[in-house]
């Protein structure tokens, strides 16, 4: 039994590895136009989130479906990220008093002594904002059908309320990219793995964390819905009770009047006798 269980685990592991290999190649191909990277990352997560639940179908078919369904929203988010990245890059050049940039814009040369620290603080804040919102952004697009504004807002709220999970996802993506680009030898030995495996593997690993967070959100939403339904039921009962009380009072008043009439008739009968 133990040997059979090990064989099943091995077979399942090889199946997952094969699916991730195919998924990563599809992801890279769909990311080649650059402007489609946001939609590709979203589609990547749409598949891996299904994989961790055991709900995936065909890898290519599921990827294309996720790519098409979230293309507009994910592409807008990606373009916003690129714009902010360009702004941060220029600000970093200003922080370092880049001579080429300062020569191209004379007014900046006159102000260069006073703006370096300002832009340094600004860059740190902007990087912190992007770093906080990015890890959950594309998984949220893949998982929930919300408007763009709500999705961006929720990416920050989810990160803040699940800070430990945010750290795991942030490190899982940032650390491999940073060290691969920073260490030349590491890049030379691992660049091809980014084409064949790494992005899909990271997305798959972080999808377990995302699933726990999303399950927690779903449970909270269900509890809130139950509380709201209970509150509505209580209000309805109170309204029904408030409508019923005047009627009950009227009925009691009528009964009291009929009782008085009846007593009056009884007295008249006694007098006649």
For 173-186, how does the pLDDT look when each residue is reduced to its tens digit (9 = 90+)? 999 999 999 998 99
Number of structural domains found in the chain: 1
On the CB side of 224, CA atoms within 13 Å amount to: 6
Burial of 216-239, coded b for 16+ CB within 10 Å and e otherwise, reads ebeeeeeeeeeeeeeeeeeeeeee
Q: Classify residue 63: in a domain, yes or no.
A: yes
Mean pLDDT estimate for the chain? 84
Q: Classify residue 259: in a domain, yes or no.
A: no
Q: Classify residue 267: in a domain, yes or no.
A: no
Q: List helix spans (H) across the chain.
A: 2-31, 37-51, 59-69, 71-95, 99-104, 106-143, 148-161, 163-182, 184-196, 198-272
Q: Classify residue 205: in a domain, yes or no.
A: yes
Taking the model in full, what pTM does it have? 0.78
Length of the chain equals 273
pLDDT tens by residue, 215-226: 999 898 888 888
Instruction: Round to whole Å and give the CA distance between 242 and 103.
Output: 79
Q: Classify residue 118: in a domain, yes or no.
A: yes
pLDDT tens by residue, 71-98: 999 999 999 999 999 999 888 877 765 5
DSSP label at residue 242: H
More confident residue, 40 or 240: 40
In whole angstroms, how large is the CA radius of gyration of the chain? 33
pLDDT exceeds cutoff 80 at 39 = yes
* % of the chain beyond a pLDDT of 90: 56
pLDDT at 247: 59
């Amino acid at each position: 039994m133990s040997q059979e269980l090990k064989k099943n685990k091995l077979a399942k592991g090889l199946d997952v590895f094969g699916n991730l290999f195919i998924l990563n190649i599809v992801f890279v191909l769909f990311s080649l136009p650059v402007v489609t990277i946001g939609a590709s990352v979203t589609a990547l997560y749409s598949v891996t989130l299904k994989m961790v639940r055991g709900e995936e179908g065909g890898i290519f078919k599921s990827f294309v479906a996720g790519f098409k369904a979230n293309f507009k929203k994910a592409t807008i988010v990606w373009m916003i990220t690129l714009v902010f990245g360009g702004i941060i890059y220029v600000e970093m050049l200003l922080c370092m008093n880049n001579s080429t940039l300062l020569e191209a814009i004379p007014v900046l040369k006159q102000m260069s002594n006073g703006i370096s620290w300002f832009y340094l603080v600004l860059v740190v804040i902007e990087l912190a904002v992007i770093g906080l919102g990015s890890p959950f952004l594309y998984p949220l697009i893949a998982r929930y059908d919300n408007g763009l504004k709500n999705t961006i807002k929720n990416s920050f709220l989810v990160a803040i309320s699940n800070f430990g999970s945010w750290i795991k996802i942030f490190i899982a993506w940032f650390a491999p990219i940073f060290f691969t680009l920073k260490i030349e030898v590491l890049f030379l030995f691992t660049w091809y793995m980014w084409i064949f495996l790494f992005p899909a593997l990271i997305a798959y690993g972080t999808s377990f964390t995302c699933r726990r967070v999303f399950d927690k959100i779903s449970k909270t939403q269900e509890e809130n819905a139950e509380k709201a339904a209970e509150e509505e039921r209580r209000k309805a009962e109170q309204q029904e009770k408030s409508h019923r009380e005047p009627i009950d009072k009227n009925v009691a008043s009528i009964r009291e009047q009929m009782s008085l009439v009846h007593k009056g008739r009884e007295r008249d009968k006694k007098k006649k006798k």
